[in-house]
Structures are given as C-alpha cells and as structure tokens.
Structure 1
Amino acid sequence: MLALLTAHNLFEKDLVLKRNEFLKVAGTIDTNIYFIEEGSLRIFIEQEGEEQIIRFGYLNDLIVSLDSFLTEQPSDFYIQAIKKTTVKIISKKVFFEFINESEENLKLWNAILENLVLQQMEREKDLLISSVNERYSRVLKRSPRLFQEIPHKYIANYLRMTPETLSRLKKS
C-alpha cells in the first residue's frame, strides 16, 4: 500500500505529533487520510465525560475520520497520538483524483473500504460479547501486535474492562 501511494506521490506533507497531541478533535471536519510512519494513534469519542476508544492505528496503518472524510461534515471523533507519531498526509481531493485515474486505483479504494467495514463488524461483535474473557481472546487472536504497541490502559478501555481485569486475563 505504502509503495503504491508513494509511487504516485500522493503524500502532500508529513506531520509529527507529540505524545497526547490531537490530530483531530470532536466537532471538526477532517477530510485527510493519514499513513502512520511511526508511533501510534487512538480514535475515541467522549460520552458523559468518559472516553470510549473505538480504534487504534500504528506503524503502516491508514487512519481516517471516515464519517467526516465521506460527508465533509463535523465528526464526534477525536484522534490523538499515544506516543510521538509521524504521519504522512493525503488530502481527499488528491486521493480521489488518484482513485478516479484507473480501474485498478478504484479497486484499491474499494478494498480499503471493504476492510474497514469488516473491521467494524468484528468490533461490533466484540462489543456484543458479554464475556470479558472471550472479548480479550478475540482481540488477541485478531490483533496480537496491539498488545505490543498500545499501553494496557487504552486496550482495557477499548475492550470495555478495567485495567485490573485485563491484567488478570493476560496472566491466566
């Protein structure tokens, strides 16, 4: 993916975020696609003063506030650096010019969207499973790298459990 995007010179600029710095805040429009070159990000919403993490991104991942990207409307999502993070940026305009250049590029966009939909469906299944043990097992199986890249307090939030419960599950 990176090679294809780089070969077509789609990256317009790089951005370095400090730990805890926001790439996007709720209530804003963001129509960029971000490729994570280094570091990690979390996407979350805030409800009644509590953060609910819905997604992570780390090395070689694409991150986008998809609702805002597609509708060009403000989004409720925050995107925040977990640690120092470098992203390459592609604007919607440049990306859509690229995907409309050829059938192959359009297929790439469709594959990206299909992957996002499938990931979201897996995430929804995780949230519907009441057993914390099964939730943990599913995510560990699907994304073992997550447990090396992301601090446990964020993973616990993502899994809708306390850090203590996550720690207990990891030990068993």
Structure 2
Amino acid sequence: MKEIMALSDKIVTLKRNEFLKTSGSVDTNVYYIESGSLRISIFNDDSEQTIRLGYKGNLIVALDSFITGAPSHLAIQALKKSSIRVISKYQINAFLQTESNRILWSTLLESLIVQQFEREIDLLTESPLQRYKRVLQRSPQLFQEIPNKHIANYLRMSPETLSRLKKS
C-alpha cells in the first residue's frame, strides 16, 4: 500500500458532503483516504443507494470509469472533512512497469473484487441481522468512522432497524 501512496503528488481536501466525483462524469483516478470518510453511491430516481464506504487507510475508486475511461453513474462524496491522495491512471500505469508492482496491484484488485463479492452476498442475505453481523465482523472500524444513516443505507435497512440491531 505504501508503494501506491508514494505515487501521489496531489492531495485534495474535501468538506463534509462535498463531491469528489459526480454521477455521469469520467474519473480515472484512484484515491487513498488519509483522513475522513467517503461513500460511493448511485442515484436512482428519487433515491440514492450507498454501494461502498471508505475511511482512513482505504483506497476508493469508481472502478468502472477507471477501467473503461467512460462516464460512470457512481458518485463519490465526503461524509466528513477528508484528506485524499489522488493517484492518476498514468501514475498507476507507470507503476506497473515492474513485475513486483504488477503483483502488488493484482493483489489490491483481487481484494477489491472479494470485497465487492462479499457486498453482493450481504445484499442477498435476507435477514437485516445477518447483514449487520457480516459487516460488523468484516469491518468493525466502519461503525466508528461512518454515520449510522449511511451504514443503514449501505445495508439496505432503515436507520431505526440498524439502531435496534446495535442495541441487541
């Protein structure tokens, strides 16, 4: 991870609720969160759905746009004041010129794929309690870094349901 962070020569500071990327835009950067927290969401009609959450020490990316260079429906928004290292696709491609860096990058992508797969399992799990327990087991720090209303949205339950589950 330190090797990836070292690629960045640009740091962006976002205010609470400020967008790093808006829906419909192209974004070929990878972001390392130095402080704060962000969410990736998608807007559908009158609702929004959080599909990924990130906090200090996490990489976050609109992976579809990063890979294809095409506009993405995803938006990336700061949940609180955040400091983000920006790593461009050009910097990543230069980094990938050595075999050891390609292995590191492959490991990072594999981890991201596994996380996304676990997310899909969470969404297909019928019980809110099971979804809550799985996320708590995988990412206990999430509950210290991310406001409950966004965790509830991520888990596709009401904030009241999440509150009840946390108390029990």
CA–CA separation in structure 2 for the residues paired with 1:47 and 1:28: 16
Matched, 1:82 2:98: no
CA–CA separation in structure 2 for the residues paired with 1:31 and 1:12: 16
5+ residue gaps, structure 2 = none
What's the TM-score once normalised by structure 1's chain length?
0.95
The runs of 4+ residues in structure 1 deviating greater than 2 Å are none
Q: Once the 2 structures are TM-superposed, how far is the Cα of residue 46 of structure 1 from its aligned partner?
A: 0.6
Q: Once the 2 structures are TM-superposed, how far is the Cα of residue 12 of structure 1 from its aligned partner?
A: 2.5
Identity of aligned residues (%): 58
Aligned AA for 1:107?
Answer: I
CA–CA separation in structure 1 for the residues paired with 2:130 and 2:85: 35
- Asked whether the 8 Å contact 1:12–1:91 carries over to 2, the reply is no
Q: Counterpart of 2:95?
A: 98
Q: Once the 2 structures are TM-superposed, how far is the Cα of residue 5 of structure 1 from its aligned partner?
A: 3.0
CA–CA separation in structure 2 for the residues paired with 1:170 and 1:61: 24
Q: Once the 2 structures are TM-superposed, how far is the Cα of residue 48 of structure 1 from its aligned partner?
A: 1.6
Q: Counterpart of 1:28?
A: 25
CA–CA separation in structure 1 for the residues paired with 2:87 and 2:127: 40
- Asked whether the 8 Å contact 1:43–1:77 carries over to 2, the reply is yes
Q: Once the 2 structures are TM-superposed, how far is the Cα of residue 22 of structure 1 from its aligned partner?
A: 0.1
CA deviation digits over 1:33-76, x for unaligned, max 9? Answer: 11111100000001121010000111011111100000000000
Q: Counterpart of 1:122?
A: 118
Q: Once the 2 structures are TM-superposed, how far is the Cα of residue 10 of structure 1 from its aligned partner?
A: 1.2
Q: Counterpart of 2:166?
A: 170
Give 3-state SS (helix, strand or coil) of 1:51's partner. Answer: strand
CA deviation digits over 1:63-113, x for unaligned, max 9? Answer: 11100000000000000000000001111011111112x110000110011
5+ residue gaps, structure 1 = none
The match for 2:127 among 128, 131, 145 is 131
Q: Counterpart of 2:58?
A: 61
- Asked whether the 8 Å contact 1:43–1:79 carries over to 2, the reply is yes
**Count of residues paired in the alignment:** 168
Matched, 1:72 2:69: yes
CA RMSD of aligned residues (A): 0.8
What's the TM-score once normalised by structure 2's chain length?
0.98
